[in-house]
Structure 1
Amino acid sequence: MTLTWLTALAGGVLIGLSATLLLWLNGRVAGVSGILNGVVFPKPGDLSWRVAFLAGLIAAGGLYMAVVPGAPLPRTDFPRAGLIVAGVLVGFGTRMGNGCTSGHGVCGLGRLSMRSLVAVATFMATAIATTFVLRHLWS
């Protein structure tokens, strides 16, 4: 019997805890696109915590895949050009939306931000529509 709900619950608790601790201890919102933007375009004295946060995300994912038996592995059958285009489009969308799913969905909703509620509703509607088109209409 797999305990998918238990690992999902544990992951959600860890995400919420890390976002809360970052806000309480560092006064920063855990919006990953904004954190990454601060690494690419750093301001003096504002780089180390960003690099540590991103390194922790990558390390935690790698540790999970290494330690948990049957953990899902990244897919390798996507064309590289498509991944690059998708990454650029996501970066453009997060810039237009003034934040990403982690900033709006995890932190913004937790702070009862109306702007984040609208952003998350837009993210979800777009994801549902895209999935429907790709799975049912395109193929």
Structure 2
Amino acid sequence: MTLQSVIHALIGGVLIGSSVSLMLLGLGRIAGISGLFGSLITGRYTAVALWFITGLLAAPWVASLLGFWSRPDYLANPAWPKLLFAGLLVGIGTQLGSGCTSGHGICGMANLSQRSVTATMIFMGVAALVVALGFGGVA
């Protein structure tokens, strides 16, 4: 771990916290990414959802252009079947858990929601298990 990686993580955390706080304070809405993305798929989205998701998708590209991030090797030639299957599992999990890491892990836990604490413990535990069993690679 380098000082540069710590600074980048700190900046990322501040940006995530700021965007979540602005959305909650400005619009009274929790920044749950699965809900925002789901609204795009169902066609019931707002301009806020569209801009929020666009910003999420554009951020790595902009960071790369500015020299803050270099693309990992596994993104140069992604394993599409694994990525699509993983995305499907994440989608199913967010439906079953009524939210995702952003809704439960960032917003819900900050609001001391017992449901969000439980959901976050479960999906983080499963993620650790998947990685420990060797299923965490995307290449």
* TM-score of the pair, normalised by structure 2: 0.88
What pairs up with 1:115-126 in 2 under 5 angstroms?
A: 115-126=115-126
Report deviation, 1:47: 2.1
Looking at structure 2, the residues matched to 22 and 42 of structure 1 have their Cα atoms a distance apart, in angstroms, of: 20
Cα RMSD (Å) of the superposition? 1.6
1:46-67 residue CA offsets vs partner (Å, 9 max, x unmatched): 4211111111112222111111
Dislocated runs of 4+, deviation >4 Å = none
Looking at structure 2, the residues matched to 13 and 2 of structure 1 have their Cα atoms a distance apart, in angstroms, of: 16
Report deviation, 1:68: 1.9
- Runs of 5+ in structure 1 lacking a partner? none
1:73 alignment partner, one of 71, 74, 77: 71
Find the counterpart in structure 2 of residue 111 from structure 1: 111
Report deviation, 1:80: 1.2
Report deviation, 1:76: 3.1
Report deviation, 1:39: 1.0
What pairs up with 1:21-36 in 2 under 5 angstroms?
A: 21-36=22-37
1:2-23 residue CA offsets vs partner (Å, 9 max, x unmatched): 4111110110011001000001
* 53-62 vs 29-38, which moves further: 53-62
- Runs of 5+ in structure 2 lacking a partner? none
Looking at structure 2, the residues matched to 85 and 28 of structure 1 have their Cα atoms a distance apart, in angstroms, of: 30
Tell me how many residue pairs correspond in the alignment. 132
Looking at structure 1, the residues matched to 121 and 54 of structure 2 have their Cα atoms a distance apart, in angstroms, of: 29
Looking at structure 1, the residues matched to 104 and 84 of structure 2 have their Cα atoms a distance apart, in angstroms, of: 24
Looking at structure 2, the residues matched to 85 and 40 of structure 1 have their Cα atoms a distance apart, in angstroms, of: 18
* TM-score of the pair, normalised by structure 1: 0.88
Looking at structure 1, the residues matched to 41 and 112 of structure 2 have their Cα atoms a distance apart, in angstroms, of: 29
Looking at structure 2, the residues matched to 27 and 127 of structure 1 have their Cα atoms a distance apart, in angstroms, of: 30
